[in-house]
Amino acid sequence: MSRNFRRRDEKEKLTVTCLILTDAPSDFTDVLETCGVATERMTMEEAVGKDLSSYDAFCILACGKILDPRLRVRLEEENGKRKRIFTEALNSWGGIYSAEGADTTRLRLAVVNPADGEGIPGLETGDLLDDEGNRSMRPWYVVPGMTPILVYRDHVMAHRHWNADREEILKDGTPGLWTIRDTVMMCAFEIHNFNRARFAPREAWRRLIVYIARWITGHEPASLPEPVIHYGPADADLSDDAAFERCRLDAVERGIRWLRGFLVDEGRGGIREGMRHPVDPDGHQASADSVRTDCTGEAAGAFRFHSLLTGDDKSRETAENLAGFVFGPMEVSGGLFDGMLRWTDTAWQVCYQDDAARAMLPALYECLLTGRRDRFPDVCRALDFLVKTTAKDGCRVSRTDAPNLDEEGLRRLAEAEHGLPSAHYNAYYHAALLLAYLCGGDRAYLEVGRRGLETIMALYPETRREQSETEELCRLILPLSVLYEATGDPSHRAMLDRVTEDLLTHRHPTGGFCEWDTGYRANCSRESRGECSLLTENGDPVADLLYSVNWLPMGFAWAYRATGDPKYGKLWREIAAFCLKAQIRSEDPRTDGSFCRAFDMDLGEAYGCPHDVGWAPYASETGWTDAEILMGLMLPSVFEKTNQPKP
């Protein structure tokens, strides 16, 4: 390896002077400054006209800027002396020029080690690295001596490693990082704040950063920046009752604090959806600003549980405001669609029964556990609309759009023989019906809820899956628990036990549950161009906290209430401990206390296939994920407060 670095004298080790051209300090400049070499930072504007001959290596963090031709000429002269140059997001260097930056959110970087020779230590060809919501400047063509190190590929059906050979990875790939002979390394995307931008998986990126720093300076960095995100309580023994209880209460307070950041007018205008997946190159995460009825109702439940446990008046008022929004402007009053709960502030005339049910469930929990009934008539109006649009088998179609329905259309829905036998779309609707029966005694609710769950279980395990088989199993625990509580029928208890035992076959040692889909039959299984499961191969150690595991704290706690079986209390404790480990700890209030959709249980960090069009791995839902988990963490204490069984 030919180098042109100066030595102070023959007895001293190699000494390098590196010029870093950048507008501001960053994670990467911090790394280079720990490499034991002399570094100097200046902007590209400041470097114009400077004598560059005293520097041995150059790092250009361009972030999409174009080199001033006067500076470029001098840099190319130094590169011609075989001095090394690293460029980041620089669209023109040497014989290469590139397209404008394009979004990489759903692309993946695959490692391509050389066919012969040394690659990146600790990384293998096919290892996958995700750069979240970055921008990549695609070279228009390759030049002689250009050797790829990372390649962007789309639609990669793999979790952490793509089992493909070098040629297959390179085919149709877009260069992300490459060398030109042995004096130029170019990065097509913005890597400077790899830590703040939460590139994942962490260890793979750290190995790559060390490799690049050593390539530039000849030395490995002495340290790397501490992650901006941590997960769970550090060094807590969650098997210890006192430590578990302390961490559980802390997790609840963090979660409630996080939810408050998304309230609209203290809840009077509902709650925003949460955080979207993309994290830009400087670490700013995009927000999801839609106001959803389901998120609002679920958040109302989290705040209400919190007020019951702590006596906090602010949480009680917030819960009231949120419930008032659900059963106020978001519930149709009068006319053909009386009682219909609107989906969102924009999907104004759309109704998904599962989403509607989750919006009303907290009012039913409160009614059953505390006897408070002031929201019960509103809930019954919402359920009556759903019942009159339910097929004879107790299941509803996936959704209804009011503009496409008239009286005849509503009648046809009720007279249809079959709805959609899917836990994803119907099981929580059935849970709401059964809870309403327990609250008010209306046997019509009991019959539709029972019939619907029996329809789904008659097909089980071949239900109509949406995300995965694991999702269907997780979504059935709460509804089947309420069914057994409502009927006391041993066959319904057997259904609950069967689903639970099947789910346990997918349990990970951390206490979470792996995504699994026998035969990959779910609508979103192994998809990459729309709504997508996190599952790429059965056996991936990835937990889904948006569609699967998030339902289990509530489900197992309620199963213990319904059955009195200690095994369900133990399962609640284990899944609660897992959720504590997965909760984000951060100095950023936009993330601290939240839960990401994807959690790699082997790595202990947020990571998963990023192809989903709206809810990729870093997405955090105020309702589906955070409020559901928080309610589940609090439910045993709510039971205790209301003289119910406690796990």
Q: 3-state secondary structure string, 221-278? A: CCCCCCCCCEECCCCCCCCCHHHHHHHHHHHHHHHHHHHHCCECHHHCCCEEEEEEEE
Q: Find the helix or strand (DSSP H, E) in which 6 lies.
A: none
Q: Which domains does the chain have, with CATH numbers?
A: 17-217 (3.40.50.880), 230-641 (1.50.10.10)
Dump pLDDT digits (tens) for 493-511. Answer: 999 999 999 999 999 999 9
**Sign of the CA dihedral with 167 first, then 169, 174, and 180 last:** negative
Dump pLDDT digits (tens) for 254-269. Answer: 999 999 999 999 999 9
pTM for the full predicted model = 0.95
Dump pLDDT digits (tens) for 559-593. Answer: 999 999 999 999 999 999 999 999 999 999 999 99
The mean predicted confidence, pLDDT, of the chain is 95
What is the distance, to the nearest Å, from the Cα of residue 349 to the centroid of all Cα atoms in its chain? 28
Distance CA 418, CA 146 (A): 60
Whether pLDDT at 166 is above 80: yes
Residue 128: which of 241, 208, 49 has the closest Cα?
Answer: 208
Q: What is the mean pLDDT of residues 387-402?
A: 98
Whether pLDDT at 405 is above 70: yes
- If phi > 0 it is left, if psi is from -120 to 50 it is alpha, else beta; for residue 335 that is left
Backbone φ, ψ for residue 503 (5° rounding):
-65, -40
Q: In 398-409, which positions are buried (b, 16+ CB within 10 angstroms) versus exposed (e)?
A: bbbebeebeeee
pLDDT greater at residue 316 or residue 539 = 316
Percentage of residues of the chain with pLDDT beyond 90: 91
Task: Collapse the DSSP code of 563 into the 3-class scheme (helix H, G, I; strand E, B; otherwise coil) and give the result.
Answer: helix
Reported confidence tier of residue 411, pLDDT bands at 50, 70, 90? very high
Reported confidence tier of residue 4, pLDDT bands at 50, 70, 90? very low
Distance CA 599, CA 515 (A): 11
pLDDT attached to residue 115: 78
Contact 197, 132 (CB under 8 A): yes
Distance CA 208, CA 64 (A): 21
Whether pLDDT at 426 is above 90: yes
Dump pLDDT digits (tens) for 605-639. Answer: 999 999 999 999 999 999 999 999 999 999 999 99
Residues in the chain: 647
Distance CA 487, CA 494 (A): 13
Reported confidence tier of residue 22, pLDDT bands at 50, 70, 90? very high
Dump pLDDT digits (tens) for 34-89. Answer: 999 999 999 999 999 999 999 999 999 998 889 999 999 999 999 999 999 999 99
Reported confidence tier of residue 11, pLDDT bands at 50, 70, 90? very low
Residue 432: which of 454, 414, 449, 453 has the closest Cα?
Answer: 449
pLDDT attached to residue 9: 36
Cα 420 to Cα 398, 463, 464, distances in angstroms? 6, 9, 7
Reported confidence tier of residue 234, pLDDT bands at 50, 70, 90? confident
Distance CA 201, CA 603 (A): 8
Reported confidence tier of residue 230, pLDDT bands at 50, 70, 90? very high
pLDDT attached to residue 403: 96
Reported confidence tier of residue 644, pLDDT bands at 50, 70, 90? low
- If phi > 0 it is left, if psi is from -120 to 50 it is alpha, else beta; for residue 463 that is beta
Whether pLDDT at 475 is above 60: yes
Reported confidence tier of residue 116, pLDDT bands at 50, 70, 90? confident
Q: What is the mean pLDDT of residues 302-323?
A: 98
Whether pLDDT at 367 is above 90: yes
pLDDT attached to residue 474: 98
Reported confidence tier of residue 6, pLDDT bands at 50, 70, 90? very low
Strands 17-21 and 38-42: parallel
Reported confidence tier of residue 646, pLDDT bands at 50, 70, 90? low
Task: Collapse the DSSP code of 5 into the 3-class scheme (helix H, G, I; strand E, B; otherwise coil) and give the result.
Answer: coil
Does the bond joining 201 to the residue before it have cis omega, within 30 degrees of 0? Answer: yes
Dump pLDDT digits (tens) for 269-300. Answer: 999 999 999 999 999 999 999 999 999 999 99
